[in-house]
Amino acid sequence: MAAPADAIRVDQIDGLWSFFEAIDWSEPFMIGLIVFHSVCLILTIATRQRNTIQAVYFFFLLVLVFFSETINGLCAEHYQKFSRLQYFDSNGLFISLVFSVPILANCLVIVVMWVLLSGQMLIKVKRAQLREQIRQQKEKKR
């Protein structure tokens, strides 16, 4: 299938920077995508103390990434409804870089927060165990 005339010409893109320069960031669709990622980052930070909510949110983000290929196909078919240019190539470069990577970055932040939380919980449990051992040793001496 031939690329539409308004598609980004990939033969002119020789790196990541030139790819991002080829995107019209003033389009409402792109502004909406930036707002979406900003809201995701805010939710990632806001839910850091609520583990169950964050786990559901984490799963939702991973589902979005999982279905990004399907989303890319749908957007490629209907891009005229929300965008002036056809960004959605068959290789999925656009959707990977401007949709999936920021979502995965949020997931990475969540995993790091979980690892830190696990470390803090391990320290609390170990301290409690040591206090209990000291208390039991004191009781045995009496």
Residue-wise pLDDT for 45-77, tens only, equals 999 889 899 999 999 999 999 999 999 999 989
Task: Return the pLDDT at 26.
Answer: 87
96 lies in some domain: yes
Q: How far is CA 123 from CA 49, 104, 110, 128, in A?
A: 18, 29, 20, 9
Give the tokens for residue 77.
């078919």
In a domain? residue 138: no
Number of domains in the chain: 1
Let me know if residue 139 belongs to a domain. Answer: no
Is 54 a member of any domain? yes
Look at residue 20 and tell me if it is in a domain: yes
Tell me whether residue 129 is in a domain. no
Domain of residue 48, residue span: 10-112
Is residue 6's pLDDT more than 90?
A: no
Mean pLDDT over 78-99 rounds to: 86
Residue 3 lies in a domain: no
> Can you list the alpha helix ranges (DSSP code H) found in 47-100?
51-66, 68-78, 93-95
pTM of the predicted model over 0.85: no
pLDDT, tens only, 98-130: 999 999 999 999 999 999 999 999 999 999 999
